[in-house]
Amino acid sequence: MITRLAKAGLAAALSVTTLTTGAVLATGATAEAATPAVPTSAQHVTVSQSGNYPGGFFTTGNMSVSWTVAGTTDLTGPTHITLDLPPGVTTDGAMFFPAPADYTFTTALSPDHRHLEAVFTGTRPVGSYNFMKLNLATTPGVPIVGAITATVANPNDTDPTGHVSGYDLGSKSSLPATVQAAPAVTGLDTATGPGTGGTAVTVSGSNLANGMVLVGGVPAPGRCTDTACAVTTPGGTGSAPVSVVTPGGTAAAPVTFDYTGAPPPAPAAPVLSSVSPTSGPAAGGTRVYLFGSNLTYGSVAFGGVPATHVSCGPAACTATAPAGAQPGPVDVTVTTAGGTSAPVTYTYTA
């Protein structure tokens, strides 16, 4: 569902370092023209873009922004994607329709329709990719010049390479690879608020453009410029760490945000309605789909044994069955902050 950001205006320009062939990155990796660098982070995600961009006689077009798991382990946690369009080019929002919906996906579009932010939360295996599609439109009489810039960031990804993709509409060509400078957080203007959330907080620092603020590990809706992020806190309890995740890395705030008063109400209890397939070998390793409701951020267990590669959205989870102690039926459950579901049955076969 597309929502609008409360703050108008574009984020400050990215602070980036352009890489040329053989250039040495701050991480010590070397950029090569033909051979992709080996990720320095086990969890690593990269971004790319493609499309039928508007230009010439074409006043409309479309494009896709893709993010690919390029590390050595599953990508977990919230992945933040941004898109910036040059003057004269707008979009009406992003479309994202893979199935089953074992993830959460939210977007926010700026009032001028030139800046879009999305947060994808789900577990994705190495080599997998996701993408969002967007329609583009141009303003009559305004020359189509400038670059389309897409970025990606994830708090578990410490390798800053591959996080920025640029396409120049004037030359109709991709721009050289860039790396955004590492962020720094200097403070918060407000460090306390009710457990129900909703407190307006400004996070100050540098190199924060295209950032995502996490409060207690939960994304806080809002917008970042190069020097500040204006966000609204999610609900929480106790002292919550605050960090800003950008394409250049993650920076922690020097203070926590302290929740006061009652916490937010617990979410509704998860409900499981079916499992597919309903059986698999006792050795484990079967990819299983679970369907129901209130499953977001759930963990999955087979006969009390945690499943692996778990990803849960509101109405579906995917998971890999662990090994069974012996052939026969076991209970499969999903546990969230709202409790543990009633079980469905899965049968281990000899």
Query: What is the residue-averaged pLDDT of the chain?
Result: 89
Overall fold of domain 271-349: Immunoglobulin-like (2.60.40)
Beta bridge partners of 220: 213
Lowest-confidence segment of 31-45, 63-77, 110-124, 145-159 by average pLDDT: 31-45
Q: How many CB atoms lie within 10 A of CB 350?
A: 7
Dump pLDDT digits (tens) for 166-220. 999 989 999 999 999 999 999 999 999 999 999 999 999 999 999 999 999 999 9
Beta bridge partners of 240: 257
Phi, psi of 200 (to 5 degrees): -80, 125
> Residue 31: its pLDDT value, please?
33
pTM: 0.88
Average pLDDT score over residue span 49-71 = 91
Dump pLDDT digits (tens) for 116-175. 999 999 999 999 999 999 999 998 777 788 999 999 999 999 999 999 999 999 899 999
> Residue 4: its pLDDT value, please?
31
Overall fold of domain 184-260: Immunoglobulin-like (2.60.40)
Q: Domain limits of the chain?
A: 27-177, 184-260, 271-349
**For 27-177, which CATH superfamily applies?**
Alpha-macroglobulin, receptor-binding domain (2.60.40.690)
- Residue 332 three-state SS: strand
Cα angle, residue 141 at apex, residues 139 and 142 outer, rounded to 5°: 60
pLDDT score of 69 more than 70: yes
- Nearest C-alpha neighbor of 344 from the set 325, 313, 319, 309: 319
